[in-house]
Amino acid sequence: MNVLVLSGYGINCENETLHAFEVVGFKGKIIHINDLIQNPKQLNNYQVFAVPGGFSYGDDTGSGNAMAKKIMTNLYDQLIDFSLKDKLIIGICNGCQILINLGLVPSLNKKDPEVALIENKSGSYECRWVDVKVSNNKSPWLENISTLNLPVAHQEGQFMIPINLLKSIKANNLIGLQYIDHHKKLAKGQFPFNPNGSKDDIAALTNQNGNVLAMMPHPERAFYHYHIPNWQSNTLKKFGDGYKIFMNAKKFFA
């Protein structure tokens, strides 16, 4: 079980993302985008392709856009190929923005992106912990999970989806995660439960196979119990909720 964790041009969560995969049993490597473009065949050695969070190209021209365009020009076919196999792809935060800009999720009509991530309704960067519920538990990434407590940290996390597309996303059950309030009910756009004003409280989308997950919250930052705010009140657990996502990846290949 090998994971490729992408880096370069301002991606910055590669270390902790790789660490999370390694703890659950993966072997992995951080690979710079330029090295991958030089030698795309190395993708064959990996079962998981992870695009971590960060600020690729400083979010200029829209978060994830510049990196997505670079991948589209240089690696698109290889990545599509990867996604069509029995392999897993995850994009977290900036990685999510990159996958959305690539159109790898929801990928209902292929190639062109149909969903956009736009600036938070608050107009400001939001670094805070949120609760999300799993809506599509068919995705191998999200199997057997009901809710998660995870941090978000982004300026552009608001899912913008044309109405018709939203209908087919729902019909195909492609909403991965949705923000919920303290009573485990959908946040209904209410701040700060829904930190960015995302339509239908969407925090993550998957493709139709469920093997590609694009999520705004950061599971790798909620990996150990001491990551959780006010963890001192509950020191019995070893892991935080983010651990479950990485364990699911392991189970998929077990």
10 Å Cβ neighbour count for 208? 14
Among 3, 4, 5, 13, binds another protein (CB under 8 A): 13
Nearest residue (CB) to another protein, 140 versus 157? 157
Residue spans of beta strands (DSSP E) within the chain: 2-7, 27-32, 48-51, 88-92, 116-118, 126-134, 147-154, 158-160, 175-180, 202-206, 212-215
**Is residue 75 near another protein by the rule CB under 8 A?**
no
Binding-site string for another protein from residue 190 to residue 219, where x marks contact by CB under 8 A and - marks none: ----------------------------x-
Nearest residue (CB) to another protein, 243 versus 252? 243
Q: Are 160 and 232 in contact (CB under 8 A)?
A: no
Let me know if 189 is exposed, middle or buried by CB neighbors in 10 A (0-12, 13-18, 19+).
middle
Q: Which stretch binds another protein (CB under 8 A): 57-65, 80-88, 173-181, 246-254?
A: 57-65
Q: Which stretch binds another protein (CB under 8 A): 9-17, 81-89, 136-144, 206-214?
A: 9-17
Spot the catalytic one: 119, 126, 156, 220: 220
- Residues lying near another protein in the complex (CB under 8 A) are found at 7-10, 12-13, 15-16, 19, 32, 34-35, 53-55, 57-62, 65-66, 69-70, 72-73, 101, 112-116, 118-128, 151, 153, 160, 162, 218, 220-221, 223, 226-227, 229-230, 232-233, 235
